[in-house]
């Protein structure tokens, strides 16, 4: 049996920046890319929890990836986007939506995901920062959606949605 071709192994990534640093989201985790919308703040939430908004009849929590990663809110630019991603909660196995505020989200990259390599550090405070890829522009780091939230934040943001899912279970 022959090896799959590079085209078969390739994935599409949405590229964004935090300051001068480039990051990538697996496009299969992206549901929609929206302009930045007004958000309702969540009382007593961490600073990087930007708020919630209503989208197609559901309330969607939103986090500011820049504030989460480096401690300062994303700039409000024409290229700043609200990216809706599929966030699956392990316990319930349900597909929940999470909004991510990201800057300079205006390009994509198609490449073999095996080109991303471990960068040698285990950052337990940012487990969502995955392997890196080196290209002509420097390093590009894969942001893993499933590792963004710890248990306490997941409970804060998704408790009502998870309760509804569990109520509907047989």
Q: Phi, psi at residue 147, to the nearest 5°?
A: -105, 10
What Rg do the C-alpha atoms of the chain give, in angstroms?
17
Sequential DSSP letters for 117-133: B--S---TT-TTEEEEE
* Residues 28, 85: Cα–Cα separation, whole Å: 9
Q: What is the pLDDT of residue 168?
A: 44
Q: What is the pLDDT of residue 94?
A: 65
pLDDT average per 10 residues of sequence, the chain (170 residues): 61 93 95 94 90 90 94 90 83 77 94 91 82 93 90 77 44
What is the largest distance, in Å, between two alpha-carbon atoms of the chain? 57
Q: What is the pLDDT of residue 40?
A: 93
Q: What is the pLDDT of residue 165?
A: 40
Q: What is the pLDDT of residue 49?
A: 93
């Amino acid at each position: 049996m022959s090896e799959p071709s590079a085209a078969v192994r390739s994935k599409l990534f949405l590229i964004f920046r935090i300051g001068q640093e480039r990051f990538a989201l697996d496009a299969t985790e992206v549901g929609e890319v929206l302009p930045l919308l007004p958000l309702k703040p969540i009382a007593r939430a961490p600073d990087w929890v930007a708020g919630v908004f209503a989208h197609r009849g559901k309330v969607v929590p939103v986090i500011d990836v820049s504030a989460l990663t480096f401690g300062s809110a994303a700039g409000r630019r024409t290229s700043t986007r609200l990216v809706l991603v599929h966030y699956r909660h392990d316990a319930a196995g349900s597909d929940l939506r999470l909004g991510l505020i990201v800057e300079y989200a205006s390009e994509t990259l198609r490449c073999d995901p095996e080109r991303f390599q471990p960068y040698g550090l285990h950052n337990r405070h940012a487990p969502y920062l995955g392997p890196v890829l080196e290209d002509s522009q420097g390093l590009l780091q894969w942001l893993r959606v499933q590792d963004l939230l710890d248990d306490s934040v997941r409970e804060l943001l998704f408790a009502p949605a998870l309760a509804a899912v569990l109520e509907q279970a047989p």
